[in-house]
């Protein structure tokens, strides 16, 4: 008997549920391959609940803890939170702990923990980043994480799939962040509510893993549970560089018949005509082409976060800024996404280029993206490579945060106003 056609999401869920197939809408119980949480979402919440139950971790080898939200510690409260995490990690003898190594959504895959075919959960809303590797990964709250940590299982309702198919080739200076802001402008922040979004098409296949991670990460802004990309040779080559074990990716894609079924809908985009995008305060969905915002004064330019400060992002900013200085009165803040990316950027001369242009370097942590650390001024106009620009998230409620790609952030820092990076890249190699 022929097996029913399945989407990539259905295949990943079926695998974790020990089933041959699953149907959109049904509720299944899944075995978890990896549970990730950080200093904010993890021990300070899980430790007292586990103690009250007299329960223990189901499998320490499948737990990853990252200290990234409250480091470096700046006050007594942050020191208390990080101390709890460090002491709990030691008491539990956790084998996978990354302390002040960078942002969890970057550090965890950089160490080979997320691989195609896995079913993972994370204690952070941007956990769908793992979908860039062909893994089913989504964010959950502390109570759900307690259940996972004790049982190693979680239930879910099998979602329908929305395929975002990008055909053609992106122009120089236009990147994954622009793709995502365009989709948010079209569909809004609930456009994929509780669906599985799958990014596909030639433009997606041409992206490197860092860019794919940006797409999957910001599927959370679309309201989806996961943001999947079918694994391919690009995925395998990247994983090989992390030392991750070899994995079979055969069959990890959406079947053609499933793509045409009621369990799936497809939206098509032409990457060739996409312009650099900007999202105005106070929502990532307030997005439009950069020319709609040209001339808007900028006080602060922030290159940081899991969507905007990986090595490729730092290279992009350096390409714009090389040989130039930021405009007078503009503060350029750079917070690399991980120690690994920071050191690679340093060895390539990318960091020096940014510093020579006037950048101030900050810790490899969530930092200002999560409203921690450097305080932004009242009434400041900020252009940022982060994923969110909600009122008060990065500073006072009066702070106006615009979202854009690292290319656009760098170009705007150079001009002192929101600017089209393509103007700065004329004559540069693509």
277-423: CATH number: 3.30.499.10
Pull the structure tokens for residue 110. Answer: 């950089």
Mention every residue, 6+ apart, whose C-beta is less than 8 A from residue 398.
Answer: 378, 379
* Strands annotated E in 204-282: 226-228, 264-270, 277-279
The pLDDT, as a whole number, for residue 429 is 41
Q: Is 153 helix (H, G, I), strand (E, B) or coil?
A: strand
Identical fold for domains 8-270 and 277-423, yes or no, is yes
- Tokens 């932004």 belong to 376
The pLDDT, as a whole number, for residue 1 is 53
Report the C-alpha gap between 256 and 261 in whole angstroms: 9
The residues of the chain scoring below 50 in pLDDT are 429-430
Report the C-alpha gap between 203 and 271 in whole angstroms: 7
Q: pTM for the whole thing?
A: 0.96
The second-level CATH assignment, the architecture, of 8-270 is 2-Layer Sandwich (3.30)
Report the C-alpha gap between 382 and 380 in whole angstroms: 6
Q: Are 274 and 177 in contact (CB under 8 A)?
A: no
pLDDT in tens, 210-267: 999 999 999 999 999 999 999 999 999 999 999 999 999 999 999 999 988 888 999 9
The domain locations on the chain are 8-270, 277-423
The pLDDT, as a whole number, for residue 231 is 98
> DSSP assignment of 54-123, as one string?
T---S-GGGEEEEE-SS-S--SHHHHHHHHHHHHHHHHTT-S-EEESSB-HHHHHHHTT---TT-EEEES
Strand pairing class (331-335; 359-361)? parallel
Report the C-alpha gap between 333 and 359 in whole angstroms: 6
């Amino acid at each position: 008997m022929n097996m029913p056609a399945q989407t990539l999401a259905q295949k990943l869920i079926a695998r974790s549920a020990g089933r041959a197939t699953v149907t959109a809408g049904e509720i299944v119980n899944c075995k978890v391959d990896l549970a990730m949480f950080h200093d904010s979402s993890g021990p300070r919440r899980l430790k007292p609940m586990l103690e009250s139950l007299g329960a223990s971790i189901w499998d320490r080898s499948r737990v990853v803890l990252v200290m990234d939200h409250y480091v470096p510690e700046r006050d007594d409260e942050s020191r208390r939170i990080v101390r709890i995490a460090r002491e709990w990690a030691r008491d539990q003898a956790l084998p996978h702990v990354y302390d002040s190594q960078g942002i969890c959504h970057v550090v965890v895959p950089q160490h080979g923990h997320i691989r195609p075919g896995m079913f993972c959960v994370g204690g952070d809303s941007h956990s769908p980043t793992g979908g860039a590797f062909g893994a089913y990964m989504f964010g959950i709250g502390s109570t759900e994480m307690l259940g996972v940590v004790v049982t190693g299982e979680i239930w879910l309702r099998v979602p329908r799939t929305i395929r975002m198919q990008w055909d053609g080739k992106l122009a120089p200076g236009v990147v994954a962040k622009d793709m995502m802001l365009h989709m948010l402008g079209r569909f809004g922040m609930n456009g994929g509510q509780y669906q599985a979004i799958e990014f596909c098409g030639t433009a997606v296949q041409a992206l490197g893993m860092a860019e794919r991670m940006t797409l999957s990460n910001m599927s959370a802004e679309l309201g989806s549970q996961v943001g999947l990309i079918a694994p391919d040779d690009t995925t395998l080559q990247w994983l090989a560089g992390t030392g991750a074990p070899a994995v079979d990716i055969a069959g990890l894609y959406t079947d053609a018949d499933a793509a045409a079924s009621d369990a799936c809908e497809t939206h098509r985009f032409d990457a060739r005509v996409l312009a650099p995008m900007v999202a105005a305060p106070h929502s990532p969905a307030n997005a439009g082409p950069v020319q709609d915002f040209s001339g808007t004064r900028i006080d602060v330019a922030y290159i940081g976060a899991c969507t905007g400060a990986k090595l490729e992002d730092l290279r992009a900013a350096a390409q714009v800024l090389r040989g130039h200085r930021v405009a007078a009165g503009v503060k350029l803040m750079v917070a690399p996404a991980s120690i690994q990316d920071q050191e690679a950027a340093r060895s390539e001369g990318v960091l020096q280029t940014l510093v020579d242009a006037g950048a101030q370097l900050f810790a490899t942590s969530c930092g200002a993206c999560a409203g921690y650390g450097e305080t932004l001024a009242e009434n400041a106009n900020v252009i940022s490579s982060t994923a969110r620009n909600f009122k008060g998230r990065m500073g006072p409620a009066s702070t106006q945060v615009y979202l854009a790609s690292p290319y656009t952030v760098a170009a705007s820092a150079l001009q002192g106003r929101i600017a089209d990076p393509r103007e700065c890249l004329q004559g540069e190699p693509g």
